[in-house]
Chains A and B, each alone.
Chain A
Amino acid sequence: GAVVSQHPSRVICKSGTSVKIECRSLDFQATTMFWYRQFPKQSLMLMATSNEGSKATYEQGVEKDKFLINHASLTLSTLTVTSAHPEDSSFYICSASRQGLDTQYFGPGTRLTVL
């Protein structure tokens, strides 16, 4: 149990376009979802926390107008990278947790390449 999926697994886009990444909890209801970014050979950096039905909370230094997060249901959160630039190229990973529990279950990640 506790499976989290992400779609797409890889995406290549042109500079200036927007990209949407989906994160789904397949077998449990996720009251909280987290979005991370990971650059090559580096650790995971938390970008934002989203709770179902409310606005996401962004970490310091993360532009909320650039990285739009929507958590419309207990099983789906989306991250939209708007007006993407090459420096946004990274590995984006979501995680999900059940209400009142610490454990975060991670998705397989999405490799974004902006040309």
Chain B
Amino acid sequence: QSALTQPPSASGSPGQSVTISCTGTSSDVGGYNYVSWYQQHPGKAPKLILYEVNKRPSGVPDRFSGSKSGNTASLTVSGLQAEDEADYHCSSYAGSNNFAVFGGGTKLTVL
């Protein structure tokens, strides 16, 4: 099972919006509505910010939103804030034999 493809980096200025893509195949992203996104600050454990493509766990600001089209899922961060600077990882369910696959991660820089 190959990793999902994410751009290595993304950036935006405070207040702007930025979108990060996550591309898989019909065996993972395209086959299920089970895509999650994680935020990870340096030296910290990942934090779940979206699941089932576009659902937010309690406490996650609505500035974080998700979508999916075909084999590509996307995370949009609106109204960028300094504390949004972090690594973002996507994951997808990949069936009962492989279960889960992650992307390579995207480093988001707030300019």
Chain B associates with chain A: no
